[in-house]
């Protein structure tokens, strides 16, 4: 099918594919940055969700008999509390395994006074539920210590949050750079088609009619180039995701993108094409406004 006549007004032979490839690179980098941001936000949410209601009760008692009895009593009381989803005494063999790198096999004799530890998962991380657990534990052993996992993993959460914002800043920077590329391309286009535009003006073309010629071209190049870049970036993200899944890390597992995240990434070329269309219009109208 032939193009609409008004779309042939600009000489297509003067068109270069440079813009398309620039946009492909821009969108490739933008999608990677956006995926990083979305992945980190997801990991941060997963971490918060996992840690918000997770506690460890620690009992320090030299007498192993009293310690184990107190641990059982606390576990029983805590299990009965509302909002508690799991209570598990940490296996002593597992504790010994954790200490082995520091003490060596010889240091792990049976008389070593190790604290009793009870892992508790709550349905939510609200303060009232935590206070109830603390009260229940201290009713049995007043010196019982309650460790909130969210507290000691907060630097990790802050780090994830920083990377998320860094990724957002990268996306904004890439969008700004794309808008600048579009402005320069539109101005270059006006310059190379100056004679055609002069004739169109004398024949009674409005600035908006001329702007439409450029904005359509630039938006199409952005969309096509953007799709190329996006597909390449998504393929790379998928590949990295497969490799990360193979590592079996709980934290890296949280970085995985949700279906909505993939959809958002797929919408980026369209969003950039719209932005390019607007930027091209502004550039063309601004430049033509200075002429007669």
Partner 1 sequence: MANIVQFENVGLRYGTGAETLSDISFTLSAGSFYFVTGASGAGKTSLLKLLYLAQRPTRGIVRLFGEDAGALPRKRLPGFRRRIGVVFQDFRLLPHLSAYDNVALPLRVAGIPEADVDGPVREMLAWVGLKDRDSAKPPTLSGGEQQRIAIARAVITRPEILIADEPTGNVDPDMAERLLHLFDSLNRLGTTVVVATHDFQLISRIPDARMMRIEKGRLNDPTGSLRYPPGMAPT
Q: How far is the CB of 215 from partner 1 (least distance, A)?
A: 17
Q: Is 11 in the site for partner 1 (CB under 8 A)?
A: yes
User: Closer CB to partner 1, residue 124 or residue 209?
Assistant: 209
User: Closer CB to partner 1, residue 3 or residue 105?
Assistant: 3
Q: Is 196 in the site for partner 1 (CB under 8 A)?
A: yes
Number of chain positions touching partner 1 (CB under 8 A): 22
Q: Is 168 in the site for partner 1 (CB under 8 A)?
A: no
Q: Please classify residue 219 by burial: count the beta carbons closer than 10 Å to its beta carbon, then call 0-12 exposed, 13-18 middle and 19+ buried.
A: buried
Residue 74, CA distances (Å) to 57, 80, 116, 129 in order: 9, 10, 11, 15
**The only residue of 1, 203, 247, 259 in contact with partner 1, by rule CB under 8 A:** 203
Distance, in Å, from the CA atom of 284 to the CA atom of 213, rounded to the nearest integer, reads: 10
Q: Is 13 in the site for partner 1 (CB under 8 A)?
A: yes
**C-alpha angle 275/279/280, rounded to 5°?**
115
Q: Please classify residue 17 by burial: count the beta carbons closer than 10 Å to its beta carbon, then call 0-12 exposed, 13-18 middle and 19+ buried.
A: exposed
User: Closer CB to partner 1, residue 105 or residue 195?
Assistant: 195
User: Closer CB to partner 1, residue 123 or residue 199?
Assistant: 199
**The only residue of 114, 156, 175, 200 in contact with partner 1, by rule CB under 8 A:** 200
Radius of gyration, alpha carbons of the chain: 31
Distance, in Å, from the CA atom of 21 to the CA atom of 19, rounded to the nearest integer, reads: 6
User: Closer CB to partner 1, residue 76 or residue 206?
Assistant: 206
Distance, in Å, from the CA atom of 47 to the CA atom of 55, rounded to the nearest integer, reads: 14
Q: Is 9 in the site for partner 1 (CB under 8 A)?
A: yes
Does residue 238 sit in helix, strand or coil?
helix
* Number of DSSP helices (H) and strands (E) in the chain, helices first: 10, 4
User: Closer CB to partner 1, residue 27 or residue 211?
Assistant: 211
Q: Is 8 in the site for partner 1 (CB under 8 A)?
A: yes
| Joined tokens for residue 108 | 């792990």
Q: Is 289 in the site for partner 1 (CB under 8 A)?
A: yes
Q: Is 1 in the site for partner 1 (CB under 8 A)?
A: no
Stretch that binds partner 1, among 65-73, 95-103, 194-202, 261-269 (CB under 8 A): 194-202
Which residues of this protein are in contact with partner 1, per CB under 8 A? 5-6, 8-9, 11-13, 195-196, 198-207, 209, 289, 292
């Amino acid at each position: 099918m032939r193009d609409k006549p008004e779309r042939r007004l600009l000489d297509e032979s003067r068109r270069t594919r440079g813009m398309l490839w620039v946009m492909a690179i821009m969108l490739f980098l933008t999608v990677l940055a956006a995926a990083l941001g979305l992945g980190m936000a997801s990991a941060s949410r997963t971490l918060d969700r996992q840690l918000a209601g997770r506690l460890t009760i620690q009992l320090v008692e030299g007498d192993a008999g009293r310690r184990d009895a107190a641990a059982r009593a606390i576990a029983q009381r805590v299990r009965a509390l509302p909002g508690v989803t799991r209570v598990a005494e940490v296996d002593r063999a597992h504790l010994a395994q954790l200490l082995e790198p520091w003490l060596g096999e010889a240091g792990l004799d049976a008389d070593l006074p190790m604290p009793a530890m009870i892992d508790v998962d709550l349905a939510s991380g609200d303060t009232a539920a935590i206070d109830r657990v603390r009260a229940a534990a201290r009713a049995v052993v007043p010196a019982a210590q309650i460790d909130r996992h969210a507290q000691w993993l907060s630097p990790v959460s802050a780090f994830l949050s920083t990377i998320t914002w860094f990724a957002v800043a990268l996306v904004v920077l890439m969008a700004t750079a794309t808008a600048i590329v579009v402005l320069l391309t539109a101005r270059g286009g006006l310059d190379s088609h100056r004679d055609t535009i002069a004739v169109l003006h004398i024949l009674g073309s409005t600035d908006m009619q001329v702007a439409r010629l450029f904005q359509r071209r630039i938006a199409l190049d952005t969309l096509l180039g953007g799709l190329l870049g996006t597909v390449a970036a998504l393929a790379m993200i998928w590949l990295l995701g497969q490799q990360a899944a193979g590592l079996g890390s709980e934290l890296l597992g949280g970085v995985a993108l949700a279906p909505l995240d993939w959809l958002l990434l797929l919408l980026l070329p369209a969003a950039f094409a719209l932005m390019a269309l607007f930027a091209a219009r502004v550039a063309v109208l601004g430049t033509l406004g200075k002429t007669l």
